A = this chain, B = another copy of it.
Amino acid sequence: MRVAKKIDEVRSFVRAARMRGAQVGFVPTMGALHQGHLALIRACVAQNDVSVVSIFVNPTQFGPREDFNSYPRPFEQDVALCEKEGVDLVFAPSAGEMYSPDHATYVEVEGLTAGLCGQFRPGHFRGVTTVVSKLFNIVEPDTAYFGEKDYQQLIVIKRMVADLNFPVRIVPIPTVREADGLAVSSRNLYLSARERRAAPALYRALCEGAKAAAQGASGFEVEKITRQALEKEPLFKLQYVQAVHPETLQPREDQGVPMVIAAAAYLGSTRLIDNIKVEGRS
| A interface residue numbers (CB < 8 A to B) | 7, 11, 100, 102-112, 129-130, 133-134, 137-138, 140, 159-160, 162-167, 248
Are B108 and A159 closer than 8 Å at their CB atoms? no
Are B167 and A137 closer than 8 Å at their CB atoms? yes
Bound-complex Cα distance A100 to B100 (A): 33
CB<8 Å pairs between A and B, sample of 23: A104-B110, A104-B159, A104-B163, A105-B107, A105-B109, A105-B110, A105-B159, A105-B160, A105-B163, A106-B107, A106-B108, A106-B110, A107-B107, A107-B133, A107-B164, A108-B108, A134-B163, A134-B164, A134-B165, A137-B164, A137-B165, A137-B166, A138-B165
Are B104 and A7 closer than 8 Å at their CB atoms? no
Are A104 and B111 closer than 8 Å at their CB atoms? yes
- Contact partners of A138 in chain B: CB under 8 A: 165
Which 10 A-B pairs have CB atoms at the shortest separation, nearest pair first?
A105-B163, A137-B165, A104-B110, A104-B111, A105-B109, A134-B165, A105-B160, A138-B165, A103-B163, A137-B166
Bound-complex Cα distance A108 to B102 (A): 14
A108 to chain B, nearest CB (A): 5
- Contact partners of A162 in chain B: CB under 8 A: 100
Whether A112 contacts B104 in the complex (CB less than 8 A), given A165-B137, A166-B137, comes out as: yes
Bound-complex Cα distance A106 to B103 (A): 17
Bound-complex Cα distance A166 to B105 (A): 12
Q: Which residue of B lies closest to A126 (CB)?
A: B108
Are B100 and A104 closer than 8 Å at their CB atoms? no
- Contact partners of A165 in chain B: CB under 8 A: 7, 134, 137-138
Given A103-B163, A105-B107, A134-B163, 13 other A-B residues pairs in contact with their CB atoms under 8 A: A11-B167, A102-B159, A102-B248, A104-B112, A104-B163, A105-B108, A105-B110, A105-B163, A106-B107, A106-B110, A107-B133, A108-B108, A133-B164
- Contact partners of A100 in chain B: CB under 8 A: 162-163
Bound-complex Cα distance A133 to B164 (A): 6
- Contact partners of A133 in chain B: CB under 8 A: 107, 164
Are A129 and B109 closer than 8 Å at their CB atoms? no
Are A140 and B167 closer than 8 Å at their CB atoms? yes
Which of A7, A102, A108, A164 neighbours the largest number of chain B CB atoms within 10 Å of its CB? A164
- Contact partners of A248 in chain B: CB under 8 A: 102
Are B164 and A105 closer than 8 Å at their CB atoms? yes
